[in-house]
Amino acid sequence: MKKFFSIIVILFFITNIATYGRTMPKVKADALYDMQTAYFETEDTNSVMQSAASVLYDSDYSIEDYNEEFGLIRAQKVFKAAYTSKKRIAGWSVVLAAATAYTVFSYGSTAAMMYSPTRRIATELKDKTVIVDVNVFVEKIDNNVVKVKFIPVEKVLQNADGFAFNQMAPLKVIRIYKPQAYQEFFAQVKKNLEQ
């Protein structure tokens, strides 16, 4: 029986090991800075901040902090999305199979061992709560140039049904390295400024 459980534990670690060895996409720091930063030819930082806040508001973000003195806007968007880790489901399926086999061999006396993996698989299959936190920094460079830095971070949270729903310890944190998200934001800010 000990060999059986050691095989199950080894299979569980093999199915989950790929998630621990992942690396971040290879994006150079200066390329990331260029993606996140735009310059606008204007001398009015307040209108740039209002334009940026308007773009965020129109994109269903709630403005958490708007500080003209420091040139800072913090916003947040919360929504549900499908995010399922196949490796986690495979790992919990192996644990469930082992618990089921052990329950059969023990004539049902250990049936409670099947509860936790079953619940974890069900939780993994449900839509997750996703929070997108955005920081926008607005800074006047010289008389006619205002710099805007846009930094979004996406957090996938564990479901609240039976397990901890903790915003400080998300299931996954996704840094956005695709230039389209930044280009769309800056294009909307520019369009608002021209109106």
Place of tokens 């806007």: 73
Distance, in Å, from the CA atom of 11 to the CA atom of 191, rounded to the nearest integer, reads: 54
Tens-digit pLDDT profile for residues 29-69: 788 888 999 999 988 889 999 999 999 999 999 999 999 88
Entry pTM: 0.69
Average pLDDT score over residue span 111-136: 82
Distance of CA 79 to the CA centre of its chain: 11
Tens-digit pLDDT profile for residues 145-193: 999 999 999 888 766 544 445 555 677 777 888 889 899 999 999 998 8
pLDDT value at residue 17: 53
Distance, in Å, from the CA atom of 75 to the CA atom of 132, rounded to the nearest integer, reads: 8
- Name the band, by pLDDT with cuts 50, 70 and 90, for residue 12: low
Count of all residues that appear for the chain in the document: 195
Residues 6+ apart with CB under 8 A from 38: 147, 148, 150, 182, 186, 189, 190
Tens-digit pLDDT profile for residues 77-91: 988 887 777 887 888
Element (H, E) at 173: strand 172-175
